[in-house]
Amino acid sequence: MSLQQIYDVEARIISVSNVRGKVYKMAIDAPEIAGTAKPMQFVNVALGDSTDPLLRRPFSLSGIYPDRGIIEITWAVVGRGTEIMAGWQAGQSVKVLGPLGNGLDIANLCLDHGLILVAGGTGLAPLFPPASQALARKAEVNVFYGARSADDLLDTGDLVTGCRLHLATEDGSTGFEGLVTDLLEAHLGVQGTGDNGKPTVISCGPKPMLKQVKHICNRHGFPLLVSLEERMACGYGVCQGCAVPSAGRKSGYYRVCTDGPVFWADDIDLGECTR
Amino acid sequence: MSLQQIYDVEARIISVSNVRGKVYKMAIDAPEIAGTAKPMQFVNVALGDSTDPLLRRPFSLSGIYPDRGIIEITWAVVGRGTEIMAGWQAGQSVKVLGPLGNGLDIANLCLDHGLILVAGGTGLAPLFPPASQALARKAEVNVFYGARSADDLLDTGDLVTGCRLHLATEDGSTGFEGLVTDLLEAHLGVQGTGDNGKPTVISCGPKPMLKQVKHICNRHGFPLLVSLEERMACGYGVCQGCAVPSAGRKSGYYRVCTDGPVFWADDIDLGECTR
Amino acid sequence: MNLTTDLGGLRLRNPVIAASGTFGYGEDYIKAGDISWFGAVSIKGTTIAPRAGNPPPRTCETPSGLLNSIGLENPGAKVVIEEKLPWLAQFDVPIIANISAESCEEFSELAAMFARSPHVSALEVNVSCPNVKAGGIAFGTNPDMCYESTKAVRQVWQGPLIVKLTPNVADITSIAKAAVEAGADALSLINTLVGMAIDVNTMRPVLGNITGGLSGPAIKPVALRCVWEVSRAVQVPVIGMGGISSAQDALEFLMAGATAVAVGTGLLVDPEIPRRVTQGIREYCEARGIETLQEIVGAARR
Amino acid sequence: MNLTTDLGGLRLRNPVIAASGTFGYGEDYIKAGDISWFGAVSIKGTTIAPRAGNPPPRTCETPSGLLNSIGLENPGAKVVIEEKLPWLAQFDVPIIANISAESCEEFSELAAMFARSPHVSALEVNVSCPNVKAGGIAFGTNPDMCYESTKAVRQVWQGPLIVKLTPNVADITSIAKAAVEAGADALSLINTLVGMAIDVNTMRPVLGNITGGLSGPAIKPVALRCVWEVSRAVQVPVIGMGGISSAQDALEFLMAGATAVAVGTGLLVDPEIPRRVTQGIREYCEARGIETLQEIVGAARR
Ligand SMILES: Cc1cc2nc3c(=O)[nH]c(=O)nc-3n(C[C@H](O)[C@H](O)[C@H](O)COP(=O)(O)OP(=O)(O)OC[C@H]3O[C@@H](n4cnc5c(N)ncnc54)[C@H](O)[C@@H]3O)c2cc1C
Ligand SMILES: Cc1cc2nc3c(=O)[nH]c(=O)nc-3n(C[C@H](O)[C@H](O)[C@H](O)COP(=O)(O)OP(=O)(O)OC[C@H]3O[C@@H](n4cnc5c(N)ncnc54)[C@H](O)[C@@H]3O)c2cc1C
Ligand SMILES: Cc1cc2nc3c(=O)[nH]c(=O)nc-3n(C[C@H](O)[C@H](O)[C@H](O)COP(=O)(O)O)c2cc1C
Ligand SMILES: Cc1cc2nc3c(=O)[nH]c(=O)nc-3n(C[C@H](O)[C@H](O)[C@H](O)COP(=O)(O)O)c2cc1C
Ligand code: FES
Ligand code: FES
């Protein structure tokens, strides 16, 4: 017996392309996953038959196309697994487990005062789907996106038109020179915020960035959702490997792979998180 | 300091081709090895960066072309390593250690009464170079070659013209129907052998075939060289993993990778060999 | 072909078990895999009191292996017995309750708690957890302590009693014999090997808990050797585990002397493994005219 | 950058050692690799009488690992001392003589024989070989036996004395302490883990000797943990080994507390490894402004 909600599919790769530098994008023919996935869910990708590397690798869905039965992931090469994936070609088959994680129910979010997305590096990838769903709900979407340099930026052309994009690079090679959180603060300072009219914020990226975003949102009283990464073994909830310390009411740990990856920032203790 | 005789080269693959069925052939640009290798030596081929599979795989040189700096190996897909190799493509680089093993000093062999080569399956591969060297010395070369069926035969077109080829397949799909050793016996029965005029025999193939060849040669008093295979870890003499029981004067074991792979049949105990 | 097997009174439809700690209590597994391919399932190691587990990071990939330092995170026996087991029981797969404790008294109390649940088919006494400070592995490295803890459980539990052993010992047969003497009906082996990893960039141990348990294909040779040694030394059935991810792996364990096998790390990589392993064993046997699993068990020893 | 290191009186130019049993006596290695990249070389385990070794097959690949059951094939101490060492000495790399025996008397006799050779820089007492029936691993699993065998060697050998330990124990620190108490100047760890493999087609163990020693990347996490534990428990330097095949692997061992490292299985796969490891350690240190190896040793413990 099974109460199947997560599919383990042997899927065909439709395309693999090098976005720029070390960043790649892959479209996969996986109708079961595309048909049921929510924004900000992820998949666990098997690397092949060898037992070294052994584990699957988790990647957020940067694109979900239920009509065409296609999902898309976007990744940066950071180690052996992502390197192997960069060598894959259209037509090959790949084992993909998904959709995984809680994902985002955009219908449950208050978007009356707009949505602010704050991303660093590959952290923009999971924000493409919620950006487009929020725009479809006629919300104002501001995207703050930062990276080390222009070479590290994802393809912002994948952001649905209508979003207001604010770019920052640490070396100033594109957009604002500095951290994306500085750009965000500058923007909020100019705009002012008042007592009511608090936009919802969703953020994804490196831990230090998330902490800073949390700090800013706390100050302005904006509700903040963060998407977390943690070393994962199974990705589907059985091993308890992906623990993240809780804050607020629950004591102990949450599992990033099933309780998350999307959390209300107040529910987790970013301070103690590794990475 | 080093007394380098064995080269660990990162070499370019010139071509990989599917001979037939599960049999493949690969030419590699390795001038150091091609320039020094003797017939019936072998190389140890690294499979890649993963540690699973871990060890290199040994393959006899089926072609040695010092002028062009090229070596060639021919293999059958029997497991994971040989499967991986079948997916390799021209232009890729491959780590190859060689030349390994004692090889054959054809100049030291008596070829006055001809040379008989007896091979089974991929066992023909190491016999291409000695066949061509023996013919260059104007010896009469008879090649007895057997396999399960026509699909399992190597490319006998690689045998230098001038050899007399006697084919056997167990299912009769090509040549004599039956074992190559039966064909050999039939041939020797017809030819007769007399007291003098004993050809030298070299054999390579599965253990049961080698045993039968040894039996036949003993009866006719033909000097017999066999090329052995044994599970190898290092292939260059340091681990003592490739032990084969000795017979005759030496007690204990020989190492196939350095004492062999070519042995006088009388020096080794084929009975106790595994495989 | 008959795949049924018997573990000291616990009859299984097929010999593939979900290893403890890689199946949770089934709630999440059931969404990704088909539980009916298991002959039995062993639940996450459970303690009397709830445990939060160790600080992250808790896992680290190694060559063909996985280090984990979960630290027995579990909601405590009461929640497990009242909430988890009744739910899991609906799937009609025998439930093995894996229990962990810091003293013989605790083991006996814990066993008594589970004895009152109608849903437990067997108890698996974990004297081999490398990831908790008190108790855990200590019980499994000393024959006397193994005897005492097994005995403590035996006195309050009448059903099939499995003791799970650690490979981190010089002579696993002496521990196995102690468990059997104290009344174990079957033995599970192996639990993980103690290992660690260091991040050369930060110059710190990777795991929050510093050391962890090594599992996966890397340890298969050690696990097979343990099964080989123990199944010759004792008369009770052995559940073999350690790096199983294919029918061929499982067959190696059965031939070494295991009466059933468990899949741990393999489930993390691929929830479909139990089906593949079970079908593969069947195909292997049918191709060779082997009619019962028992014909294979210990075949390499004959 | 200064790569020199000191192993209880044995000074090494660089910290990378050829592990015993994967370098022979150098004659074959020298044809394929450059011996001058080694800080020292440990010769094949040598016994008083010549040994033919175990029946084949003697090796079997496992996931990221290698099983071997060579069984201490060696020409005996006399031949080694009279023929192998004088030849090997020409390369000016310190020679560590790895010795194996079945009793304390034999250990003492063997040590005395090597003490008379001018070419031995250190003795490595192998109390951890899993592939011989008598002696071997037994000495390494019992603190008292480890003490006695070390003592026996200590009494006849004044030079640097290394004891090589097995991981096949519940508490490696107790064995380590016994060796140090008996006079060991340094410890080598780890030797192989006992393992086995089964061929499902023949239904027989793969190795002629049934069980063998598991080495290679698969055991690296276990080896690192042993180095971590032992280097905290004793004051003498530790030589770390087990699955090292890159500078990163070596750095992990140094940071865990090893003063030098040895490469075994890695040499079988790639004779060039000592150069790669040594150069890689140098690059790592230079990129971080680290000037002596000692700054890294045990860095993960600080
Ligand atoms: C829920 C989730 C969603 C993710 N989505 C994306 C995405 O959309 N695009 C993208 O590029 N990356 C994403 N990641 C990170 C991605 O999974 C890792 O970069 C990848 O697993 C590294 O594999 P590797 O073999 O190349 O690196 P490894 O060689 O395994 O490690 C290289 C480095 O990456 C770190 N790392 C390894 N695994 C993880 C992990 N699971 N989480 C975080 N860091 C890790 C290691 O600590 C190490 O520093 C996501 C991670 C999670 C948990
Ligand atoms: C000196 C020497 C020369 C060789 N020359 C050739 C050649 O020219 N062409 C060719 O096709 N093959 C040759 N072989 C055999 C070849 O090395 C093996 O077929 C190959 O290593 C199998 O690798 P694998 O990963 O595909 O198989 P694995 O998955 O490792 O094993 C598959 C099967 O092959 C057997 N096997 C594995 N390694 C060896 C080995 N070293 N020797 C014998 N059997 C083994 C295993 O027992 C198993 O049954 C030679 C072997 C030796 C020792
Ligand atoms: C993430 C994880 C958690 C585990 N938790 C437990 C546990 O709670 N109780 C237990 O007895 N064994 C536990 N184990 C050990 C496994 O049940 C199994 O004995 C071991 O991992 C070897 O099998 P494998 O290689 O198939 O994983 C755990 C293993 C892993 C990988
Ligand atoms: C083929 C082989 C032979 C070995 N022979 C010996 C030996 O004679 N004496 C010894 O002390 N260790 C011996 N070892 C153990 C190694 O020296 C080393 O301790 C172990 O293999 C772990 O290191 P590695 O993973 O780098 O191989 C041998 C290992 C292998 C693989
Ligand atoms: S990764 Fe296994 S529970 Fe989250
Ligand atoms: S394979 Fe290592 S000595 Fe022959």
Q: Of all atoms in ligand 3, which is nearest to the CA of residue C192? A: 20
Assess whether pLDDT exceeds 80 at residue C21.
yes
Reply yes or no on whether C129 is catalytic: yes
pLDDT, residue C138, reads 73
- The end-to-end CA distance of chain C, in Å, is 22
Strands (DSSP E) contained in chain B are 7-20, 23-29, 42-45, 57-65, 70-76, 93-100, 115-120, 141-147, 164-169, 176-177, 200-204, 224-227, 243-245, 253-255, 262-264
Mutate to test the interface with B, among C61, C64, C219, C220 (most CBs of B within 10 A): C64
Share of residues in chain D with pLDDT > 70 (%): 97
pLDDT, residue B3, reads 65
Integer Cα distance of D156 and D146 in angstroms? 16
pLDDT, residue B4, reads 72
Q: Of all atoms in ligand 2, which is nearest to the CA of residue B76? A: 11
pLDDT, residue D117, reads 95
What are the tens digits of pLDDT across the range A57-107? 999 999 999 999 999 999 999 999 999 999 999 999 999 999 999 999 988
CB contact under 8 A, C217 and B51: no
Residue in chain A lying closest to C18 (CA): A238
Integer Cα distance of D258 and D256 in angstroms? 6
Residue in chain A lying closest to D64 (CA): A52
pLDDT, residue A273, reads 44
Residues C6-16, mean pLDDT to the nearest whole number: 93
Integer Cα distance of C147 and C139 in angstroms? 9
Q: Is residue C59 part of a domain?
A: no
pLDDT, residue A168, reads 92
pLDDT, residue C137, reads 67
As its CATH architecture, domain A3-100 has Beta Barrel (2.40)
Tell me the residue range of the domain where C126 lies.
5-53+72-196+216-301
pLDDT, residue A73, reads 97
pLDDT, residue B144, reads 94
Question: D131: pLDDT confidence band, cut at 50, 70 and 90?
Answer: low
C191 lines ligand 3 (CB under 6 A): yes
B81 lines ligand 2 (CB under 6 A): yes
Question: D136: pLDDT confidence band, cut at 50, 70 and 90?
Answer: low
Looking at chain D, which subunits does it touch, using at least 3 CB pairs closer than 8 Å as the criterion?
Answer: A, B, C
Distance of CA B112 to the CA centre of its chain: 23
What are the tens digits of pLDDT across the range B202-241? 999 999 999 999 999 988 889 999 999 999 999 999 999 9
Q: Tell me if residue A27 falls in helix, strand or coil.
A: strand
pLDDT, residue D132, reads 64
Q: Please, are residues B101 and B258 in contact by the beta-carbon 8 Å criterion?
A: yes
B255 lines ligand 6 (CB under 6 A): yes
Give the number of domains in chain D: 1
pLDDT, residue A274, reads 44
Best of A238, A244, A254, A263 for a ligand 5 pocket test (most atoms within 8 Å of beta carbon): A238
What are the tens digits of pLDDT across the range C50-92? 999 999 999 999 999 999 999 999 999 999 999 999 999 999 9
Q: Which residues of A touch D217 (CB under 8 A)?
A: 52
Assess whether pLDDT exceeds 90 at residue C20.
yes
Residue D53 sits at φ, ψ, to 5 deg, of 90, 180
Q: Is residue C205 part of a domain?
A: no
- Report the gap between the CA of A50 and the closest CA in chain D (Å): 9
What are the tens digits of pLDDT across the range B105-131? 988 888 888 899 999 999 999 999 999
A106-267: what fold?
A: Rossmann fold (3.40.50)
**Paired tokens of A163:** 């979003």
pLDDT, residue B195, reads 54
pLDDT, residue B159, reads 76
Integer Cα distance of B224 and C243 in angstroms? 45
- Three-state secondary structure string covering D11-66: EECCCEEECCCCCCCCCCHHHHCCHHHCCEEECCCECCCCECCCCCCCEEEECCEE
**Paired tokens of B245:** 């029981």
The CATH number linked to C139 is 3.20.20.70
Best of A52, A72, A74, A75 for a ligand 1 pocket test (most atoms within 8 Å of beta carbon): A75
Q: Is residue D211 part of a domain?
A: no
Residue in chain C lying closest to B50 (CA): C63
pLDDT, residue C133, reads 61
- Report the gap between the CA of B49 and the closest CA in chain C (Å): 12
pLDDT, residue A191, reads 62
Q: What is the ipTM of this complex?
A: 0.95
Mutate to test the interface with A, among C27, C28, C44 (most CBs of A within 10 A): C28
Whether the link from the prior residue into C55 is cis, omega within 30° of 0, is no
What are the tens digits of pLDDT across the range D46-58? 999 999 999 999 9
- Report the gap between the CA of A197 and the closest CA in chain C (Å): 37
What are the tens digits of pLDDT across the range B9-29? 999 999 999 998 899 999 999
Q: Please, are residues C37 and C58 in contact by the beta-carbon 8 Å criterion?
A: no
Closest Cα to atom 50 of ligand 2:
B59
Q: Is residue D66 part of a domain?
A: no
Q: Of all atoms in ligand 2, which is nearest to the CA of residue B82? A: 26
Asked if B2 has any chain D CB less than 8 Å from its own CB, the reply is yes
Taking the domains of chain B in order of start, what are their residue ranges? 3-100, 106-267
What are the tens digits of pLDDT across the range C226-272? 999 999 999 999 999 999 999 999 999 999 999 999 999 999 999 99
Query: Which residue type does D41 have?
Result: V
C216 lines ligand 3 (CB under 6 A): yes
Integer Cα distance of C224 and D159 in angstroms? 41
Best of A102, A254, A257, A259 for a ligand 5 pocket test (most atoms within 8 Å of beta carbon): A257
The DSSP string of B121-155 is GGGGGGGHHHHHHHHHTT--EEEEEEESSGGG---
**Paired tokens of B33:** 């090895």
The widest CA-to-CA distance across chain A, in whole angstroms, is 58
Q: Residue D212's closest CA among D87, D60, D95?
A: D60
Distances (CA, A) of A238 to A4, A242, B196, C70, D129: 15, 10, 77, 11, 39
Integer Cα distance of C285 and D56 in angstroms? 28
pLDDT, residue D134, reads 59
pLDDT, residue D220, reads 98
Integer Cα distance of D240 and D164 in angstroms? 10
Let me know the angle formed at the C-alpha of D65 by D62 and D66, rounded to the nearest 5 degrees.
80
Q: Is residue D60 part of a domain?
A: no
Asked if A51 has any chain B CB less than 8 Å from its own CB, the reply is yes
Integer Cα distance of A38 and C188 in angstroms? 41
C240 lines ligand 3 (CB under 6 A): no
- Report the gap between the CA of A44 and the closest CA in chain D (Å): 22
pLDDT, residue C131, reads 64
Residues C31-48, mean pLDDT to the nearest whole number: 96
What are the tens digits of pLDDT across the range C120-175? 999 999 987 666 665 566 788 889 999 999 999 999 999 999 999 999 999 999 99
Integer Cα distance of D226 and C255 in angstroms? 32
A232 lines ligand 5 (CB under 6 A): yes
Looking at chain B, which subunits does it touch, using at least 3 CB pairs closer than 8 Å as the criterion?
Answer: A, C, D
pLDDT, residue D1, reads 85
**Paired tokens of C136:** 């855990």
Collect the ranges in chain A with pLDDT lower than 70.
1-3, 190-196, 272-275
Q: Which residues contact D182 (CB under 8 A, 6 or more apart)?
A: D146, D147, D148, D150, D151, D154
The widest CA-to-CA distance across chain C, in whole angstroms, is 56
CA B243–ligand 6 middle distance (angstroms)? 8
Asked if B49 has any chain C CB less than 8 Å from its own CB, the reply is no
Residue D234: half-sphere exposure toward Cβ, Cα within 13 Å: 29
Residue in chain D lying closest to B275 (CA): D57
pLDDT, residue B274, reads 44
Closest Cα to atom 30 of ligand 2:
B79
